[in-house]
Structure 1
Amino acid sequence: MSNGWAVELLEFLGQYGVAGIAIGLMIEVIPSEIVLGYGGYLVSAGKISFLSALIAGMFGGTMAQLFLYWLGIYGGRPFFDRYGKYLLIRPKHLDAAERWFHRHGTIVIFTARFIPVIRHAISIPAGIAKMPFYQFTVYTMAAMIPWTILFLFIGMELGAYWEQIGKVAGAYLKPIIIIALSGLLAYFLLKRFIVKYVSKKRK
C-alpha cells in the first residue's frame, strides 16, 4: 500500500483492536479489503481472535452501507450530486449503480458487493427506492460474511507483509467477480423459468 497515511491510520485504529477494525470499515477512507487484511494480520499476531475480527468486519461493513442507504432515503440523488465527492462517490459510479439496481432488482444488493465501483455505490439507489430495511440489511450482511472471511485469511497469510494485500487482492477479486456475475445470471434464468412455469400452470 503506497499511502503512508493509510498505514498510519490503520496502525492507529489497530490499537483499539476489533473496535478499530469496525471503525476503519465504517468510515470507508481506506478500501475494505485493506482494512480486513490488516485485521487478518492482527489475528496472526495473536492480538485479536478470528471470530471477533469476523464480527467486527460484518458489523463495520454493514454499518458503512446502512449509512449510504439512509442518505439515499433522506437525501436522495440531489444530495449525492452535490456532496457525493466528499464521500468518494462520483456521479458515474452512482449512475452505474442505479442502472444495476433498476435492471436487476434487490438481489443485486448481494451480488454487487463483489464488483468494483458498483459495490461502493449500490446502497444509494436502494435507499432512494426505499428498499425494505430488513431486506437490505440481510443481503448486505450476507455479502459481508464471505468478503470478510476471504480478506482476513489473506491478511493472516501475509502476516507482517499485510501492506502488500493491495497487490495480492487482484488475483482473488477476478474469480469472485466471475462467480458473482454467474450467480446473478443463474438467479435470473431460474426466476424466468419459474415465472413461465407458473404462468403455464395457471392456463
Structure 2
Amino acid sequence: MQDYMMSALDWLSSLGYIGIALGLMLEVIPSEIVLGYGGYMISEGSIGFTGAIIAGTIGGTIAQLFLYWLGYFGGRPMLEKYGKFLLINQHHLDLSEKWFRQYGPGVIFSARFIPVVRHAISIPAGIAGMSAIKFTLYTIAAMIPWTVFFLYLGIVLGENWSGIKDIAKPFIIPISILALGGGAVYIMAARKQKNL
C-alpha cells in the first residue's frame, strides 16, 4: 500500500471513531480501505464494532450530503468546472444523471452499491431538488450495510486488512445485482401506487 495512504490511515486511526468518520467524509482514501482498516482496529480492540458502524454511517452520509448540496446550489455547470477536485469526472456525472432521470429518487439507495455511479448519484439528486430528508434517509439506509460489510471483512482479515479490495471483489457484483433488484422492486411498487 502507498506510503501516503498508510500515513493518512495511521493519522485517522489515532483519532478513533472520529478518524473513521473523517476518512469517509473526505473520501481521499476509498471507503472500503478506511472501513477495512476500521475492522482491523476493532480486531485489535482499539475501537468497538457499534461505534465504528455509527462513525462510518455518519461520515459516509455527510460526504454524500456535501455532494447533494453542491448539486442543489451549484448545479451541473459548477460541478463540470470543479468536479475534478472531488474526483468526479464528466462520465460520472453523465451516468449518475441518466440513472437518476431513469429510476427516480429510489435509485439513491441502490446506486450506493454500484461502482462509478455510487459516488456521483448525490449530485443529480441535488440538481433535481430532491427532498433533503428523503435523500438523507435513503443514504443512511445504504451506508449501514456498506459500513457493516467492510468493517466485518476488516475484522476477519485482521492484519491482512490491506487486501480487502481483492477479497471484496467477488461480493461486489452480487451485492450490486441485489441492490439493482431491490431498486427495481421499489420503482415498480412506486409506479403501481401512483397508478392507483
TM-score, length-scaled by structure 1: 0.93
Give the aligned partner of residue 75 of structure 2: 76
Q: Are 2:104 and 1:99 equivalent residues in the alignment?
A: no
Alpha-carbon distance, 1:33 to partner: 1.1
Does structure 1 retain, via aligned residues, the 8 Å contact 2:109–2:183? no
Cα distance between partner residues in 2 of 1:193 and 1:22: 38
d(CA) in 2 for partners of 1:95, 1:139: 21
Aligned match of 1:182: 181
Mapped partners of 1:183, 1:115: distance in 2: 13
Cα distance change of structure 1 residues 193 and 174 upon mapping to structure 2, 3 Å threshold: same
SS at match of 1:114: coil
Q: Deviations over 1:149-184 (max 9, x none)?
A: 000000000111111112111012111001011112
**Which amino acid in structure 1 is aligned with residue 157 of structure 2?**
L
Alpha-carbon distance between aligned partners in 1 of 2:192 and 2:180, rounded to the nearest angstrom: 18
- Measured in 2, the distance between the counterparts of 1:189 and 1:138 equals 20
Equivalent residue number for residue 87 of structure 1: 86
The aligned runs of 1:154-193 (5 Å cut-off) are 154-193=153-192
In 1, Cα distance between the equivalents of 2:50 and 2:44?
14
Task: Tell me the CA shift for residue 75 of structure 1.
Answer: 1.0
Instruction: Give the drift of 1:189.
Output: 3.1
Cα distance in 1 between the residues matched to 2:66 and 2:85 = 14
1:188 Cα shift?
A: 2.7
Distance 2:122 2:194 in 1: 27
The equivalent residue for 1:9 is: 8
How many Å apart are 1:194 and its aligned residue?
A: 4.2
Unaligned runs of 5+ in 1: 199-203
Q: How large is the Cα RMSD of the aligned pairs?
A: 1.1
The normalised TM-score by structure 2 is: 0.96
Give the greater-gyration-radius structure (CA).
Answer: 1
Q: 1:130 to 1:148 in 2, by over 3 A?
A: same
For structure 2, the 5+ residue unaligned runs are none
Number of aligned residue pairs: 196
Percent identity over the alignment is 55
Distance 1:45 1:89 in 2: 35
